[in-house]
Amino acid sequence: MAFIYYVPYSTGTRAGELIKVSQKGKIFKTWEGEISQGISGAQIFSFSVMDDDQEVIEQLNELQGQYVKLEYIERYKTFFIWGDSNHFVTKVTPEKSPHIDKR
């Protein structure tokens, strides 16, 4: 279990429009979200946030519907008490959307 938690499979960044942030679950509540990385919404990046990362959760809630850059850690595996995704966001930064008309 320690290996799965402490050794990341990969790290990286993704940018897109933050389209969903929610807390879900009946007994074990987890934070889940999605960003759209394409104009049509066909490219969706799903992620989770650890419960103890309250600053990231607050930022995601504030930036709902805006273009953001996410820094994440991808783990080999996840447990149902951590979240649905293997991608865990560690930092959120507001960004300018490349889709806004620059006349």
Q: What is the pLDDT of residues 16-68, one digit of tens each?
A: 999 999 998 888 888 999 999 876 667 899 999 988 889 999 999 999 999 99
The rounded distance, in Å, linking the Cα atoms of 103 and 97 is 14
**For residue 102, is it within any domain?**
no
The rounded distance, in Å, linking the Cα atoms of 70 and 95 is 10
What is the value of pTM for the model shown?
A: 0.78
**For residue 100, is it within any domain?**
no
**For residue 99, is it within any domain?**
no
Distances (CA, A) of 76 to 19, 45, 52, 95, 100: 25, 17, 20, 29, 36
What CATH number did the domain enclosing 88 receive?
Answer: 2.40.50.140
